[in-house]
Amino acid sequence: MTTPSSAVGPTALPTRTLGSGDHALTVSALGFGGMSVADSYGPADAAEAEAVLRRTLELGVTLIDTADVYGAGRNEELIGRVLGPQRDRIVLASKFGLGKHPDGRPVDGRPEYLRAAVDRSLARLGTDRLDLYYLHRVDPQVPVEETVGALAELVAAGKVRAIGLSEAGADTVRRAHAVHPVTAVQSEYSLWTRDPEDAVLPALRELGIGFVPFSPLGRGILTGTVDRVTDLAADDVRRKHARYAGEAFEHNRALVLALEDLAAERGVTAAQLALAWLLAQGDDVVPIPGTKRLRYLEQNVEAASIVLSADDLAAIAAAVPRGAVQGVRHPQADLLEA
């Protein structure tokens, strides 16, 4: 295994391509998930959150991911304020549709809704365009063809460069792609969650669509820094997750300890080993780890220079076998497509 240098300075990360043809996007091999600096995993220090965002650019990260629901729009405002002066250096992605809506629906994919949503996001981000705009969850009340048709109108209008779907199943992706090329699909994927390997990833590769794993560190547990659930802040969203509850957490923590042992043998962190494993799953895979700590950001970026051997990959698979994790992966399981 080739390990990274311990010194992290201004650099150029290797790049990967999301999508194909006229709607392809060239991005850094690792992106940055903005949710972590939106108080979703406990309070974030405002000054350090801004420092983390600035440092992402210094480290060569170009794909910056946010959503209108993160912090009820405050995350978009933060990213717009901090990174706005460097707008042309980043590939800016946001999402719409997930949240509490006036009619009670948990997701809104109606064309009239997204037309208003994109303008609100653009205003908060302080930009005239989004490079990648995702439907955050598929709306079961609206045919995906209608939503994607409206997204295609935004592309034609210049407000959006490319479109994406989040947590969409293979059949939905095919239907959407038939209306307008889909550049990327975003879903949870890591050693902790392997579901996309069944149908979604094969479909994306058949269609030439990129894959953007969110929560690539298992919502933090693969970092090896979560020893007890009681250590999490009272408002940390993970307290609502079955994988962090009771006996399931104890079982899952044991898997992480095995990963930590492998990482220690190789002179890297468990998080770096988990990210390197994910990057090794294909050149069309662009994980977006998030953090609110500078030291973790730098460690995450170093993972892009780790090269795993076949023996390394086999050892990781043995330490964290597919299907070994206990508990459903998300409390909103009814909004996730297979």
Q: Which pLDDT does position 263 carry in this prediction?
A: 96
Q: Annotated active-site positions, please?
A: 70
Chain mean position to CA 292: 15
Q: Which pLDDT does position 333 carry in this prediction?
A: 58
Mean of all residue pLDDT scores within the chain: 91
Tokens found for residue 255: 């898997």
- Residue identified by tokens 């730098």 is 298
Distance between the two ends of the chain, CA-based, in angstroms?
34
Q: Does residue 10 carry a pLDDT above 50?
A: no
Of 186-190, 247-251, 287-291, where does mean pLDDT reach its minimum?
247-251
* pLDDT tens readout for residues 293-320: 999 999 999 999 999 999 999 999 999 9
Taking the C-alpha atoms of residue 219 and residue 25, their distance in angstroms, rounded to an integer, is 26
Is-contact 286 18, C-beta < 8 A?
Answer: yes
Q: Which pLDDT does position 240 carry in this prediction?
A: 72
Q: Which pLDDT does position 322 carry in this prediction?
A: 93
Of 56-70, 129-143, 150-164, 228-242, where does mean pLDDT reach its minimum?
228-242
Which one is predicted more confidently, 212 or 238?
A: 212
pLDDT band at 38 (very low <50, low <70, confident <90, very high): low
Is-contact 18 27, C-beta < 8 A?
Answer: yes
Q: Which CATH class is domain 15-335?
A: alpha beta
pLDDT band at 227 (very low <50, low <70, confident <90, very high): confident
Taking the C-alpha atoms of residue 25 and residue 181, their distance in angstroms, rounded to an integer, is 12
Q: Does residue 34 carry a pLDDT above 70?
A: yes
CA geometry: angle 125, 128, 129, nearest 5 deg? 85
Residue 144, H or E segment:
helix 144-157
pLDDT band at 42 (very low <50, low <70, confident <90, very high): low
Q: Does residue 4 carry a pLDDT above 70?
A: no
In the chain, where are the structural domains located? Answer: 15-335
Q: Which amino acid is at 225?
A: T
